[in-house]
Amino acid sequence: MRIRATVAAVTGALALSALAVPFAQADSRDAASLDRPSAAERFGTSSAKSAFSTAAAVPTVSNVTVNAGKNLVFGTTTVKTFTVSLTATHESGIADAYIDLWHGTDVETDVDGYLGPNEEAATCTASSATTSTCKLTITGDTYADLLKNSLAGNWHVTAGVLSNDGEIYWNDYYKTHKVQRASKLTVNASPEPVVKGKTITVSGKLSRANWETLTYSGLPSGQSVVLQFRKAGSSTYTNVKGIKTATGGALKTTVAASVDGYYRFSYAGITSTAAVNATGDYIDVK
Confidence (pLDDT) at 44:
86
Residue-wise pLDDT for 27-85, tens only, equals: 457 777 788 999 999 998 654 444 444 455 899 999 999 999 999 999 999 999 999 99
Confidence (pLDDT) at 28:
59
pTM of the entire structure? Answer: 0.85
Q: Which pLDDT band, with edges at 50, 70 and 90, does 130 fall under?
A: very high
CB 28 within 8 A of CB 129: no
Helix ranges (H only) for 100-255 are 142-145
Q: In angstroms, how far is the first alpha carbon of the chain from the final one? A: 62
Measured CA distances, 199 to 195, 240, 252, 284 (Å): 9, 14, 13, 13
Residue 23 has pLDDT above 80, yes or no: no
CB 224 within 8 A of CB 185: no
Confidence (pLDDT) at 31:
77
Residue-wise pLDDT for 233-282, tens only, equals: 999 999 999 999 999 999 999 999 999 999 999 999 999 999 999 999 99
Of residues 256, 257, 276, the one with CA closest to residue 267: 276
Cα–Cα distance measured from residue 243 to residue 252, given in angstroms and rounded to the nearest whole number: 8
